[in-house]
Structure 1
Amino acid sequence: MKAITTLILSAALATGAGAAPPQHWPIKPVKLVVSQPPGGTMDIVSRQVADQLGKVLGQPVVVDNKPGANGIIATQQVARAAADGYTLIMGSGVTHTINPYLYPRVGYDPVKDFTPIANLVSAPNVIAVNARVPATHLQALIDAAKAKPGVLNYASPGVGGTGQLTMELLKASAGIDITHIPYPGIAASVQDTIAGRTEMVALPPAALLAHFQSGALRPLAVTSPRRTRLLPDVPTVAESGFKGFEGVAWFGILGPADLPPDVVRTLRLSLRKVMEMPAMRERLASQGLDITYSEGAAFADYMQMDADRWKEVIRLSGAKVE
């Protein structure tokens, strides 16, 4: 009996002195860094996903808004975080496939510094004109632009967003000359388009729907591969004569490089459950978002394809931010 007791005590002491028994991840709250301020599309998606993901994981997933420098500040923070799964980022086309070509230095490598976990949703843009522009379809707008090179203007919330680059992609695809007028945010770009100070704008449908309903703006085409549920009668740019045209904002979750495989596996299983929830799918669809779930290599391949697209658009347009 004494020998057995000694063995038990020795084992207990050894456990206390050495590494603790392995714990299942997560054992504490997870932080989801968001590179936009509260209220935007990325923030709304992040909070909806974080709420349900926390329930599946059994630990809170806390949204941490870190806006600034077109997403660079937040993305740098996560690139440098510990690879333990407790700091993640809601990545986007802006942070991972646009900024590296738009800025001379971003302070992170969008591939080497991150573990792609899952792409979740995408948001199309709608190319819209103010009510006084006579064009009722995209080709008519393109014809008007060709008739008056350099005269028509388009608004955007700033240099480097998918709205601006989508219009630059249209310029290259259609061979037209229209002028970019950047604004400090969505509201200002929309109001000046309504007022006629610019002729057109490209933004997510949710941002423009009320103005379509009032008649202040007219939708001509959506930039996703498929029509959006919010505007089922509006054709895609591809349907309007530009096969393969795509200009969408995507949102997906990434972690720092070298995340442990068991953490990645747990996250993917949990995110799959969240994105398969009927209520979640309905909520996202009602906001004009398309569920585009993909994982790992498929997500990485999509990011590379998106990067190649925007790299060429940025080169052709000469867009850059110092």
Structure 2
Amino acid sequence: MKTIPTLILSAALAAMAGSALAQAWPAKPVRLVVSQPPGGTMDIVSRQIADQLGKVLGQPVVVDNRPGANGIIATQQVARAPADGYLLMMGTGATHTINPYIYPKVGYDPVKDFTPVANLVSAPNVIAVHSRVPVTGLQALIDAAKTKPGALNYASPGVGGTGQLTMELLKASAGIDITHIPYPGIAASVQDTIAGRTEMVALPPTALLAHFQSGALRPLAVTSPQRTALLPDVPTVAESGFQGFEGVAWFGILGPAELPPEVVNTLQQGLRQVMNMPALRERLASQGLDIIYSEGAAFASYMQKDADRWKEVIRLSGAKVE
């Protein structure tokens, strides 16, 4: 039978061992699950950040692409992983603030099953029209839509993406009736808008810059709270009369629920250092991304606000994926 001093000593040693284990993290490579295939914006951003984070942490951070079901497969994997810090994910609005409301079942709780580590960047959309649409500003577009309810169409890369939901948010905010035409991806939605088969689209600026330069499309407004450096002369939707309007895609690091605080702190320290690197910041800006760094509770609050916004837009629009 152990004496009280022996029990106290055992507990102290166990605590010291646990502390040493946490301080040693990471002792092996860390996997960062990305819910989109290689080559897209999310994948490129994840690799840029993972490369620098690995150098700061002293262990490789390896991007693991797990596309499928609009991010649900990857998100389920991380939700069920051990909370040891060796499997993380690049979460997005799709995985955590849209999918739970647009799919009948996602197989995870976006709040209870995850530890929010840090929000990193956001990507605005640009509301753009075909050059033959005789408007040069967002208010003029809204006036035209009110004149002929239901006559104007907008393209999107599919149901439930920020391209669609941003336009549905505009519909609700402005009290207009425009018709959604979904396409299987960005390329198809842009192609038909350039061809004039739809009047407008809302997509990231990098997807549309060449068409602005050619004159095929005309930018009207940016959906982020601030203007984008890629289109400094294009006002935000908020500047155009809709205060507080925001419709962006965001990328942030999350882990399984109950990540040890020491692991979270180490990750946050590393990410702060990475996101302050001038070269990385310049690369991200050149890709039309805004750094919106926040940690822990502030990140959780941001996600809740984003979820509340999209939940209401989804309810009003009736958007659903079966």
Q: Structure 2 length normalisation: TM-score?
A: 0.93
Aligned to 1:86: 86
Any residues of structure 2 matched to 1:91-130 within 5 Å, and which? 91-130=91-130
| Shift of residue 182, structure 1, vs aligned partner | 0.4
The amino acid across from 1:309 in the alignment is R
In 1, Cα distance between equivalents of 2:197 and 2:76: 37
SS of the aligned residue for 1:33 comes to strand
The aligned counterpart of 2:260 is 260
1:192 equivalent in structure 2: 192
In structure 1, the residue matched to 2:224 is 224
1:139 aligns with 2:153: no
Alignment length, in residue pairs? Answer: 307
Residues in 2 aligned to 1:242 and 1:258: alpha-carbon distance in whole angstroms: 39
Distance 1:251 1:145 in 2: 33
In structure 2, the residue matched to 1:202 is 202
**Aligned equivalent of 1:294:** 294
Q: Give the distance between the partners of 2:292 and 2:162, measured in 1 at CA.
A: 17
Residue type of the alignment partner of 2:74: A
CA offsets 1:131-152 (integer angstroms, 9 cap, x no match): 1111111111111111111111
Which residue in 2 is equivalent to 1:50? 50
Q: Equivalent residue for 1:30?
A: 30
Distance in 1 separating the partners of 2:208 and 2:269: 35
- Tell me how far apart the structure 1 counterparts of residues 248 and 162 of structure 2 sit (CA, whole Å): 7
Aligned letter for 2:54? G
- For 1:40 and 1:222, the matched residues in 2 are separated by 21
Q: Which residue of 1 aligns with 2:248?
A: 248
State the percentage of identical aligned residues. Answer: 87
RMSD: 1.6
Find the aligned partners of 1:79 and 1:214 in 2 and give their Cα distance. 45
**Corresponding residue number in structure 1 for 2:11:** none
Measured after TM superposition, the shift of residue 39 of structure 1 is 1.4
Deviation at 1:41, TM superposition (A): 1.2
The answer to whether structure 1 residue 314 and structure 2 residue 314 are counterparts is yes
Q: What does residue 279 of structure 2 align with? A: 279
Instruction: Measure the CA separation in 1 of the matches of 2:264 and 2:304.
Output: 20
Q: Cα deviations across residues 32-91 of structure 1 (Å, max 9, x unaligned)?
A: 000011111111110100000000011111101111111100000000011100000000
Deviations 1:119-173 (A, max 9, x none): 0000100000011111111111111111111111000000011110000000000
SS in 2 for 1:221: strand
Provide the rounded CA distance (Å) in 2 between the counterparts of 1:243 and 1:271: 31
**1:174 alignment counterpart:** 174
Q: SS where residue 299 of structure 1 aligns?
A: helix
Match for residue 75 of structure 2?
Answer: 75
One-letter amino acid of the counterpart of residue 270, structure 2: S
Structure 1 unaligned regions, length at least 5: 1-17
**What residue ranges of structure 2 are gaps of 5+ in the alignment?**
1-16
| Amino acid corresponding to residue 310 of structure 1 in structure 2 | W
1 CA distance for matches of 2:97 and 2:321? 15
Deviations 1:174-197 (A, max 9, x none): 111001000000000000000010
Aligned equivalents of 1:203, 1:84: Cα separation in 2: 37
- Structure 1, residues 236-259: CA drift from partner, whole Å, max 9, x if none? 001111111110111000000011
Find the aligned partners of 2:93 and 2:186 in 1 and give their Cα distance: 18
In structure 1, C-alpha distance between the alignment counterparts of 2:68 and 2:132, rounded to whole Å:
36
CA distance in 2: counterparts of 1:112 and 1:183, whole angstroms: 33
Secondary structure of 2:82's partner? coil
Provide the rounded CA distance (Å) in 1 between the counterparts of 2:49 and 2:153: 37
Higher Cα Rg: structure 1 or 2?
Answer: 1
CA distance in 1, matches of 2:38, 2:153: 30
How far apart, in 1, do the equivalents of 2:41 and 2:91 lie?
12
Q: TM-score, normalised by structure 1?
A: 0.93
Aligned equivalents of 1:24 and 1:121: distance in 2? 28
Q: 2:148 corresponds to which residue?
A: 148
Q: CA deviation at 1:286?
A: 1.0
